[in-house]
Amino acid sequence: MTAVAFDGGGQTGEPYRPPVPMSVHVRGGVGASHVDSEELEVLEQAVDEAHDTLQHGIAQLGRARRVIEQQAAIGSVTVVTWAREVVEECHAGPQGALMLAEQVQELGDGLRHARYLYEEAELAAQPPSPPPSLLEQLNVLANPAVFLGQAAAGVVSPLAELGYSPVDLGLPSVPGLTAGPTPVGMARLADRDERLPPAGVAFDAAVRGLGEASQYAMPWSLLPGTFQLSGRPHDVADMTPPERFLLPASMAGSTLPMLLHGSQGVSVTEIGQRSVAPTTDLPGTVAAVGALRPDRGAPPGTIEVRRTEHRSGRRSWTVLLPSTQEMTPGGSNPVDNLTNVQTFSGIDSAVAIGAVQSMALAGIGPEDEVALVGHSQGGLSAMHVADHPVAQQLFDISTVVTAGSPVGHLPTPQGASTLHLEHLEDPIVGLDGTQNPAAGARTTVSRSLSTANGSRFGIMPRESHGLPTYVHTARLAQSDPSVAHVANRLQRVSGRSGDEVTAFTYQLRRE
């Protein structure tokens, strides 16, 4: 694990604040390093203690300034002016105690966010808790009220412990939003308390709590320990509690298209073909996914397959997959929430099926190197497709890049190097209930937006989950050895200046 990049200097007109280290954290990949979250906590506590002591000193300087003003009428103008200027400089000058205390606090905030991240990452390295036993299951059946209470507590408790309660439980919580029926999500989104874990980490814990309590909805102990799903073997013991909870709902939801359209099918229509300039670096390729958004003029359900004809005569392909476009599940546009829950649970979605069909229609050969790049849902689908036995048989998928995608529970696709761009404040990346595993073929960039360049809390999902922010994160992280390794693989596929690139666009529709 490596710390790589800082944000730039202060904004125009603002006092300069040196960048806080470790706003970008890189885990896994080729550049291995070591993190001891206890050590980070000790350092965080020392910085907090130093900050508290500085605050007391600042209070004393404030008192000194008041005394000087009281004595101004008695002392000589020259002496009073000098004392006033010097003490003010020490108190509130550009390098005064107030500014220094702020910088110490920012360092503490950065350490705290780093610790939250690495504590979660250490949890993710543990095997998932076992599925409920038959005895536990029978207990639930015999006491449904207790089960419901436990399920509710399973959700509320971790949120309350994290300070995100919709009601005031007397715990540290969101100022001004602790009372009344404020939805938890809204309270979370409006968070401005620097002591709380960032949204991505908080949602990991809440989703884990929800899964632990709600996995009883399915009598796992009465079912076979292993089963096939979408052509792949699954072991119940390897599934996370949120997966055990969501799979039955996803399977039920998968019947929606049949109910709504009388079919489970997906149509793939080529709607365009054009020459484009090669995207020659990681940020550029991630940014290219943004053109698939309907608000950028793309028809709903559009994906893009880019063919790169290298000057060497080699041919490679980059598949771009968009973020969620429809909240209502099961409609004609498959880039919706049904695809989200299906893909989360390992079920083939219309997008996954349509993507594989599009790749075949575009003419990707078994020897052609392929990269899959997706934002949010697009990243989920990319991981699903890359690990799918049919896709693995048909294509040589070497690289997967996801931005803002909850993919921590998904296996690393065989033969592929994956790069995951995440923000600690992005609640969407917390929906998997776990951090991504750190492995040689799997690199995760976790950027703290709140502590990058001075503390800045209350970041809304529009920013923390937005593609432009992820493009900037890719730019900040690309010099890290692990990130550069994947970026080089990606560039080998997406091409270099002078290569010919043709973009084929396909519209996917459920019908």
Sites of contact with another protein (CB under 8 A): 1-3, 18, 20-22, 25, 33-36, 39-40, 42-43, 46-47, 49-51, 53-54, 56-58, 60-61, 63-64, 67-68, 70-71, 74-76, 78-80, 82-83, 86-87, 89-90, 93, 95-97, 100, 103-104, 107, 110-111, 114, 118
CA pair distance 46, 115, nearest whole angstrom: 14
Name which of 51 and 485 has its Cβ closer to another protein: 51
CA pair distance 217, 499, nearest whole angstrom: 53
377 in Cβ contact with 324 (< 8 Å): yes
Name which of 119 and 191 has its Cβ closer to another protein: 119
Please report which residue ranges of 254-317 form alpha helices under DSSP H: 256-261, 282-288
The minimum distance between CB 198 and another protein, in angstroms, equals 17
Helix (H, G, I), strand (E, B) or coil at 442: strand
219 in Cβ contact with 137 (< 8 Å): yes
Helix (H, G, I), strand (E, B) or coil at 326: strand
The minimum distance between CB 280 and another protein, in angstroms, equals 29
The minimum distance between CB 97 and another protein, in angstroms, equals 6
The minimum distance between CB 193 and another protein, in angstroms, equals 23
183 in Cβ contact with 166 (< 8 Å): yes
Specify the DSSP class assigned to residue 412: P
- 454 Ramachandran zone, left/alpha/beta (phi>0; psi -120 to 50): left
The minimum distance between CB 95 and another protein, in angstroms, equals 6
Buried-state track 100-139, b at ≥16 Cβ within 10 A, e below 16: ebbbbbbbbbbbbbbbbbbbbbeebeeebeebbeeeebee
Return the closest-CA partner of residue 503 out of 274, 233, 303.
274
CA pair distance 397, 404, nearest whole angstrom: 21
Q: Residue 479 half-sphere exposure, CB side, CA atoms within 13 Å?
A: 7
Return the closest-CA partner of residue 394 out of 357, 351, 349.
357
Return the closest-CA partner of residue 336 out of 277, 237, 253, 243.
253
Name which of 117 and 383 has its Cβ closer to another protein: 117
Name which of 69 and 270 has its Cβ closer to another protein: 69
The minimum distance between CB 39 and another protein, in angstroms, equals 5
The minimum distance between CB 115 and another protein, in angstroms, equals 10
Q: Across-strand partners of 439? A: 442
Query: Six-digit token pair at 13?
Result: 């007109």
What is each CA distance from 457 to 18, 33, 425, 464, in whole angstroms?
17, 29, 9, 11
Name which of 342 and 453 has its Cβ closer to another protein: 453
> Of how many residues is the chain composed?
511
The minimum distance between CB 437 and another protein, in angstroms, equals 17
Name which of 32 and 179 has its Cβ closer to another protein: 32
The minimum distance between CB 489 and another protein, in angstroms, equals 25
The minimum distance between CB 36 and another protein, in angstroms, equals 4
CA pair distance 341, 352, nearest whole angstrom: 13
Name which of 86 and 152 has its Cβ closer to another protein: 86
Name which of 87 and 184 has its Cβ closer to another protein: 87
The minimum distance between CB 438 and another protein, in angstroms, equals 12
| Contact partners, residue 142, CB within 8 Å, separation at least 6 | none
Name which of 125 and 148 has its Cβ closer to another protein: 125
Q: Across-strand partners of 274? A: 503
The minimum distance between CB 412 and another protein, in angstroms, equals 22
Inter-helix orientation angle 337-345/377-386, to 10°: 40
| Contact partners, residue 353, CB within 8 Å, separation at least 6 | 266
Query: Six-digit token pair at 482?
Result: 């692990």
